[in-house]
């Protein structure tokens, strides 16, 4: 059935007008009762952030998300539109989404007064009920609230005429959700302009005697460094937000891995049979967790999940490049591909001032820490001794980009002790069907034993030799 096109038809359809907060509360309740996630694509917040957000929605609060970069704040804010009704009626031609039953603009009031039940109705999709602005120092009151339109004045309207106004972003998001990203970056005098929106729910434009009782939810994001230390968010504005919700990075490697696998773009591998060993993905996630713990990395602005995603993508890209050079049709990342990670890591972390000039050393240390952590978690200690014993003779193993997958398969035949730790990393089926998976696992075992100080490693360029420590 098509949506009513006139005010009379809308009344006859039985449509009821409810406030935005009632609408969000009603739809949030329906999702909670059905045990549906508010944001299916946001992982790791199920028992921490999501309950707080559900409380805020049920309470009808304006919300500020407080957290470092890369914590899905913007994604959650934009995802709130999924809690709106799919379609909403407005008075046709209204710039501020006038409710046909409770119009607030002069345009809508005059149109209804003239046409009555024949007033034309338009329908707005929920995606169009969202407004967003990145707070910047040059943002003006005119941008957010509105300003006198000189063109309308030039057309002959009086300055006192409400129809001379050009509405800003907030009024244009009436009956919807308005988001302000990085709120503390908004200059203090502009922050003052939002006070009425949050408390009295109206706007004041210049000297006009115009009161627009807006129905809008304001959702903002801020970084704790700006929010608490610099003091750039004025206290009266902070006080008007009903709920402050603290976000966080993934609390465990498993969640980080799930986010990486969900978000990473692996289209570079098109045309190749790409297989990513689970331990390689875990290494990428562990590198990020090591960076979040490192005293050499500035934690003030955080270490974003985007670091894991970028590192995962660059690791795959390097494995594809190897396959291209060797003429192989399959791409399987190996430890040697992790040498490409500093290029994708350096732009996403900030080295502490006292450690400036040691960037390469620090980034290399993060990668090694990630490899060692996964090696300890995945390879049982009781499989190490036989491999180390095998190197006590004159055994020397070469690794590198130009070492073929078959060479690693032959290495296991030559050093049977390697089979046990390799089997701990990949299944027998993977080992039997994919020499490239065997190669990846072999490199992981050798590198792990070196980082655990069980084997020596001599690296020159893109090649390395592993030998006994004796």
Q: 46-94 pLDDT, tens per residue?
A: 999 999 999 999 999 999 999 988 899 999 999 999 999 999 999 999 9
Q: What confidence score (pLDDT) does residue 54 get?
A: 96
Residues 194, 236 contacting (CB under 8 angstroms)? no
Rounded mean pLDDT, 242-256: 95
Q: Give span(s): CATH 1.10.8, the chain.
A: 249-378
C-alpha to C-alpha distance for 81 and 85, rounded to whole angstroms = 9
Q: What confidence score (pLDDT) does residue 168 get?
A: 85
Say yes or no to pLDDT of 154 above 90.
Answer: no
Rounded mean pLDDT, 353-378: 90
C-alpha to C-alpha distance for 248 and 45, rounded to whole angstroms = 8
Distances (CA, A) of 28 to 21, 45, 58: 10, 17, 7
Phi/psi at 338 (5° precision): -70, -15
Q: What is the residue-averaged pLDDT of the chain?
A: 89
Distances (CA, A) of 275 to 308, 358, 359, 371: 18, 34, 31, 19
| CATH class, 249-378 region | mainly alpha
Query: Quick one: pLDDT band at residue 162, thresholds 50, 70, 90?
Result: low
DSSP 149: -
User: How do beta strands 121-125 and 87-91 pair?
Assistant: antiparallel
Total residue length of the chain: 470
Interhelix angle 435-451/359-378, rounded to 10 degrees, is: 110
C-alpha to C-alpha distance for 340 and 337, rounded to whole angstroms = 6
What pTM did the predictor assign?
A: 0.87
Calculate the CA 262 to chain-centre distance: 11
Q: Give span(s): CATH 3.40.50.300, the chain.
A: 7-246
Q: What confidence score (pLDDT) does residue 228 get?
A: 44
| CATH class, 7-246 region | alpha beta
Cα torsion angle, 416, 418, 420, 424, sign? negative
- Lookup result for tokens 């504005």: 237
Rounded mean pLDDT, 405-425: 92
Q: What confidence score (pLDDT) does residue 210 get?
A: 64
Q: What confidence score (pLDDT) does residue 159 get?
A: 53
Low-confidence winner among 26-40, 119-133, 189-203, 211-225 (lowest mean pLDDT): 189-203
Computed over its alpha carbons, how large is the radius of gyration of the chain? Answer: 30
């Amino acid at each position: 059935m098509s949506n009513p096109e006139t005010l009379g038809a809308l009344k006859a359809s039985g449509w009821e007008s409810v406030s935005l907060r009632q609408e969000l509360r009603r739809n949030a309740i329906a999702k909670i009762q059905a045990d549906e996630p508010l944001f299916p694509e946001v992982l790791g917040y199920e028992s921490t952030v999501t309950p707080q957000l559900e409380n805020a929605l049920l309470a009808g609060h304006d919300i500020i998300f407080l957290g470092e970069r890369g914590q899905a704040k913007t994604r959650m804010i934009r995802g709130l539109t999924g809690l709106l009704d799919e379609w909403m009626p407005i008075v046709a031609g209204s710039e501020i989404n006038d409710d046909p039953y409770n119009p607030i603009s002069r345009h809508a009031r005059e149109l209804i007064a003239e046409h009555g039940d024949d007033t034309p109705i338009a329908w707005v999709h929920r995606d169009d009920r969202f407004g967003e602005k990145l707070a910047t120092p040059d943002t003006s009151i005119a941008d957010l609230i509105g300003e006198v339109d000189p063109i309308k004045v030039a057309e002959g309207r009086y300055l006192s005429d409400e129809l001379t106004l050009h509405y800003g972003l907030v009024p244009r998001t009436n009956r919807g959700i308005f988001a302000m990203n990085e709120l503390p970056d908004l200059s203090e005098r502009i922050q003052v302009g939002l006070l009425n929106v949050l408390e009295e729910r109206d706007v004041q434009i210049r000297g006009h005697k115009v009161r627009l009782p807006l129905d809008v939810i304001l959702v903002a994001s801020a970084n704790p460094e700006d929010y608490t230390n610099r003091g750039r968010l004025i206290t009266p504005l902070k006080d008007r937000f009903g709920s402050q919700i603290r976000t966080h990075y993934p609390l465990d490697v498993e969640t980080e891995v799930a986010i990486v696998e969900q978000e990473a773009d692996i289209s570079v591998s098109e045309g190749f049979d790409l297989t990513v060993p689970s331990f390689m993905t875990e290494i990428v996630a562990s590198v990020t967790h090591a960076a979040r713990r490192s005293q050499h990395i500035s934690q003030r602005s955080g270490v974003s999940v985007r670091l894991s995603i970028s590192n995962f993508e660059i690791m795959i890209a390097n494995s594809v490049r190897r396959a291209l050079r060797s003429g192989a049709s399959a791409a399987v990342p190996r430890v040697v591909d992790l040498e490409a990670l500093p290029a994708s890591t350096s732009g996403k972390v900030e080295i502490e001032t006292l450690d400036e000039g040691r960037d390469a050393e620090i980034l290399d240390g993060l990668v090694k820490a990630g490899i060692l952590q996964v090696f300890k978690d995945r390879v049982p200690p009781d499989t190490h001794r036989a491999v180390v014993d095998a190197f006590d003779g004159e055994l020397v193993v070469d690794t590198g980009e130009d070492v073929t997958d078959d060479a690693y398969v032959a290495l296991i035949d030559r050093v049977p002790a390697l089979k046990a730790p390799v089997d701990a990393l990949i299944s027998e089926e993977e080992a039997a069907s994919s020499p490239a998976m065997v190669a990846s696992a072999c490199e992981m075992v050798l590198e792990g034993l070196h980082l655990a100080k069980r084997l020596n490693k001599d690296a020159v360029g893109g090649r390395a030799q592993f030998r006994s420590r004796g």
